[in-house]
A and B are shown apart, each in its own frame.
Chain A
Amino acid sequence: MGGKMGITTKVSSGKMSPLKMALYALLALALLLSPILFEGFGMLFMTRIMALVGLYVMLALGLNIVVGYAGLLDLGYIAFYAIGAYSGVIIGEIAIKFLPPVLQPWTYFLMIPVAGAFAALAGITLGTPVLRLRGDYLAIVTLGFGEIVRIILLNDAFGVTNGAAGLPRAGEFIPNPAGLDWLISKFYFTIPGLGPNGFNFMFSNNLYWYYIIVLLCCLTIFVVNRLNQSRLGRSWVAMREDEVAASSMGISIMGAKLWAFSLGAVWGGIAGLTFANFQQFVSPESFTFMESVFVVCTVVIGGMGSIPGAIVGALLIQGTPELIRGFASSGIIPGLSGEQVTAISNYRNLVFGLLMVLMMIWRPQGIIPSKRRAAELTATDEIADEENQTLYDMQHDDSHYE
């Protein structure tokens, strides 16, 4: 492999082969068009699954900043998801009362920075005292934080979360986002000859949120990628490898950790808000410890610190069981009873537990490892040399310092 293909896509992006570009273009096209086909052929559940997988991609990429880049194990990440969802919905409800009618459908979009800010604030508030702790202590404290947040929501501590019943309260609703009603009223068509039942396309709620989530995922990937290559990203890696060495190189350990924690939280918060709006409902039972574990699983199994890894992990962990359930309930896999489907989704957890153990033993770098991680975990000199060569090239090639 050439020295310049490596750590950064930035270095390689200028030299992307036509084949690779064509593949990416095809992938993008498939992502944009496939839900339209699914909707048209009546497989409505597919769009929903794709949107849910997209949310998991966002969550995994956000947690990836914390676990993959900075090396801090956060077992309560779902708390930020919850905080984003609840703060967005609650403040959105208040905001609607003061907004002019034209702006009301834009509440969701206006709440994105709010949810992100609340999650980041929670990240900083929790992080400031606890980030000094060693790795395994930190894991337990974040777990405790996640549970505290869930219990507080469940007990309706501030009188605004409506306890176990969730939000919005009976009689209230989360307004449709801007453009949805217009799209639904304008975009429907039928091609009778296509397929067994004809091709009946109607723009749906799920489709709208799917596109929003795809956009958000692209934004997340872009930002995370840039972060990884930034000064901050490299200080995370240095810190993850050796805190003492990193701090003697002038890196502020607390600063770097807090940045990782709060930036990770921001994506959790935005994903949470989107989840609440997509579901039109939010309740504490979506934010259990198991959910945190699933996100950690996604990151670990996909490959810590790897963006494609996070996507593959989300597909595997969130996508597979939902797909099985979807196919079974729509009769595409015949002869699968409801009980069997439940059994399959229960076995999912069993298999994931086993997978986590086996991955740690046999392939700790994950399915699609990041180059840096792979290098340090396998520790073969070849990869390390290549890595060093790439770093050397980067440092002696001024073209990417605009």
Chain B
Amino acid sequence: MTITTIFEQLINGITLGGMYALIALGYTLVYGILLMINFAHSELFMCGAYVGLGTLSVLTNETFISEIVAKAPFFAFLIPASAFFTSGTVGLISLFLIVFLVSMTVIGFMGVIIERFAYRPLRHAPRLAPLISAVGVSIFLQNAVLLWIDSKQIPFPNPMGISVAFTFLGVSVSTLKVFIVATAIILMVLLDLYIGRSRMGKAMRATSQDREAAGLMGIDINLAIMLAFFIGPALGAVAGVFYGMYYGSIVFNMGFIPGMKAFTAAVIGGIGNLRGAMLGGFVLGIVESLAAGFLSSGYKDVIAFGVLILVLVFRPGGLLGESVVEKV
């Protein structure tokens, strides 16, 4: 490989890593508090992409808008709105803000609802029960999208187009990639500040250390858990929208592989450790991209799974995690 290809793969890896890190945060937040793997998280990521695409279509897709307006003239304001969103930097930024906010809110509430109905009744059940329940939720969501939305791949528009942010070492880096990495980092810093500094963040940390003791100290444990189930999927939704823009299409079963990889990232960083998940995401993204350059790309999923098995076997605590002692 030449320096150029290595650099190119590095950029791809960092971009992918940003998305993995965003998803991984969802796994790690939930695991930190409830000690359960939210298997349905990858499906929430997928739903996030669908909600994002829906919002994007309502705001910018002309044929879609004209169909809506033909049925309900009340929505005629969408036509000038789409003209605003598709022209100029201000329009583009507000478009992204709206798409992300809608997708994050919808998916965040989905996460909370899933917790309420599928996981909360099992909080005191044997450990495998919530995991099986989560697998059930995951299958349900996947098939719900398959049956009620579409079973085929849907193209996902990229409002940024093919604009190039900068060229370095002969590699042109697209604006989308810069945008993905920047947004991921901003969101992570915000999350880190929120969990580390705010009152509610403190409550969440206390809950993850000792749920009962935190309850005795007057912390609303259910609220802390619900918040983890809101923030995690909301970040996953952002990653879902990015994923759609990056690869140009979405499909109902797209969540499985990135979900597994993000879980691997969370494990690499030490599951339950927020900064670990961020680091793990970038590490995995870069390793995968570089390895895909060396090996055939057919094996790039094997690499992630292989890394997962190796890390779990040799360093189950992860890179930044402490070794977890099994409590009796």
B167 on the A face (CB < 8 A): no
Q: How far is B260's CA from A289's CA once the two chains are assembled, in angstroms? A: 12
Given the contacts A73-B128, A130-B309, A137 and B316 also touching, CB distance less than 8 Å? yes
| B interface bracket (residues with beta carbon within 8 Å of A) | 35 or more
Known contacts A130-B312, A134-B326; A289/B128 CB under 8 A = no
Cβ of A33 under 8 Å from chain B: no
The answer on a CB contact under 8 Å between B137 and A353 is: yes
Asked if B140 and A133 sit within 8 Å, CB to CB, the answer is no
Query: CB of B298 within 8 A of chain A?
Result: yes
In the assembled complex, the Cα of A349 lies from the Cα of B121 at a distance in Å of 23
Kindly supply a per-residue 1/0 record for chain B positions 286-319, scoring 1 wherever the CB is within 8 Å of any chain A CB and 0 otherwise. Answer: 0000000000101101100110110011001000
Q: At the interface, is chain B mostly helix, strand, loop or mixed?
A: helix
The chain A residue sitting closest to B310, CB to CB, is A129
Of B121, B127, B256, B302, which is within 8 A of A151 by CB? B302
Q: Which of A337-370 touch B at CB < 8 Å?
A: 343, 346-347, 349-350, 352-357, 360-361, 364
Query: Contact between B125 and A140 (Cβ–Cβ < 8 Å)?
Result: no
Cβ–Cβ < 8 Å partners of A346 in chain B = 143, 146-147
Q: Mark A187-219, 1 if CB is under 8 A from B, else 0.
A: 000000000000000000000000000000000
Q: Is the CB of B302 within 8 A of A152?
A: yes
A300 within 8 A of B: yes
Determine if B312 and A137 form an interchain contact, defined as CB atoms under 8 angstroms apart: yes
> 8 Å CB contacts to B: which residues of A354-394?
354-357, 360-361, 364
B140 and A244 within 8 A (CB): no
- Chain B residues within 8 Å of A147, by CB: 260, 301-302, 305
B132 interfacial by beta-carbon distance below 8 Å: yes
- Given A353-B139, A361-B121, A364-B125, answer yes or no on A140-B308 (Cβ-Cβ < 8 Å): yes
The chain A residue sitting closest to B151, CB to CB, is: A346
B143 touching A356, Cβ below 8 Å: no
The CA of A132 and the CA of B49, in the complex, are separated in Å by 37
Closest to A152 in B: B302
CB distance from B297 to the nearest CB of A (A): 10
Do B128 and A353 touch across chains, with their CB atoms under 8 A apart? no
Known A151-B302, A361-B122; judge A352-B312 contact (CB<8 A). Answer: no
Give bound CA distance, A357 to B130, whole Å: 8
Q: Which of A293, A300, A350 has most chain B Cβ within 10 Å?
A: A350
CB distance from A220 to the nearest CB of B (A): 23
User: Does B37 lie within 8 Å of A151, measured CB to CB?
Assistant: no
The answer to whether A357 touches B298 (Cβ under 8 A) is no
A141 in complex: contacting residue of B147, B296, B308, CB < 8 Å: B308
- Assess A347 versus B147: contact at CB under 8 Å? Given A140-B37, A244-B328, A353-B137: yes
Of chain B, the residue at the smallest CB distance from A358 is: B136
B133 touches A357 (CB 8 A): yes
B81 on the A face (CB < 8 A):
no
The 4 nearest A-B residue pairs measured at CB: A356-B136, A353-B140, A353-B139, A144-B305
Task: Show 17 A/B contacts (Cβ-Cβ < 8 Å), sorted by A.
Answer: A75-B135, A133-B312, A135-B131, A139-B131, A141-B309, A144-B260, A293-B139, A349-B143, A350-B147, A353-B135, A353-B136, A353-B137, A353-B138, A353-B143, A356-B135, A357-B118, A361-B118
B interface vs A, CB < 8 Å?
36-37, 117-118, 121-122, 125-133, 135-144, 146-147, 256, 260, 263, 296, 298-299, 301-302, 305-306, 308-309, 312-313, 316, 326, 328
Add 12 more A-B contacts to A133-B312, A144-B260 (CB < 8 A): A140-B312, A141-B312, A147-B302, A148-B306, A151-B299, A155-B299, A346-B146, A353-B139, A356-B133, A357-B140, A360-B133, A364-B129
A: residues with CB less than 8 A from B are: 71, 73, 75, 129-130, 132-137, 139-141, 143-145, 147-148, 151-152, 154-155, 244, 289-290, 293, 296, 300, 343, 346-347, 349-350, 352-357, 360-361, 364
